[in-house]
Amino acid sequence: MSKIRELLPSEYDQLDDFLYEAVFTAPGELRPPRDIVGEPGLRAYVEGFGSRAGDVAVCAEKDGELVGVAWARRMRGYAFVGDEVPELAVAVLPGWRGRGIGTALVRELVVRCASAGAPALSLSVQRANPARRLYERLGFRELRGDGAEAVMVLPLTAPAAPVAHERT
C-alpha cells in the first residue's frame, strides 16, 4: 500500500522529475530528452511551485520514496480555462502505474482544491493517453480539443467528501 499525503516543500524539487514522467509518449515512440522540462510551456507547471496562492500538491509514498505526484496551480498553461481555475498535472512512476495510485492522487487533489475554493480543475491530455479514461471516470469532461489533444474540466461546486483510496 502507498500512502497519499501532502507534498512537502522540501520535496518540490522533485516536481521536475515527475513533470518529465507526465509527458506522454505513445507506445513505440522514443521518449523526448529529459531537458524538455526546461521548455517555457512546461516550466510554468513547476517553476517556483509553492510560491503562488492556490498551489496544491499531493503525493504517493511507498517505503519513503515518492512514486506519484499530482499538483495544481492557477496559470495560463495548455489547459487554461480561466484565471481562477487551477490546471492539474499528475504523474506516477512507470513501475507503479496500473495500481490505482493515479486515481487516488487525483481524488485527493480534487478534495483539496475544492476545499480551497477552486471553482473547477482543468487539464490537457493527449487523446492516445490511457490516463484520459481515468479523468473521464472521475468526472472530467472535454471542453475543447483537436484531433490529438483534449482540454478537460471538472467543476468543483462544493467540497467533495473524503474518499477511500482504491488499490493503493
Reading the block at residue 51, the C-alpha cell is 510560491
Report how far residue 46's alpha carbon sits from residue 66's, in angstroms, rounded to the nearest whole number. Answer: 16
In a domain, 163, yes or no: no
Q: Say how many domains are in the chain.
A: 1
In a domain, 115, yes or no: yes
CATH number of the domain encompassing residue 41 = 3.40.630.30
- List strand residue ranges (DSSP E) for the chain, in order: 3-6, 56-62, 65-73, 87-92, 120-126, 141-145, 149-155
Residue 114 belongs to some domain of the structure = yes
pTM of the complete model beyond 0.85 = yes
Residues 53 and 20: their CA atoms lie apart, in Å, by 24
Domain membership flag for residue 54: yes
Q: Is residue 164 part of a domain?
A: no
Report, as an integer, the average pLDDT of 48-60. Answer: 95
Asked if residue 7 belongs to a domain, the reply is: yes
For residue 101, tell me if it sits in a domain. Answer: yes
8-53 confidence digits (pLDDT tens): 999 999 999 999 999 999 888 999 999 999 999 999 999 999 999 9
Domain that holds residue 33: 3-155
Question: What average pLDDT does the structure give for the chain?
Answer: 91
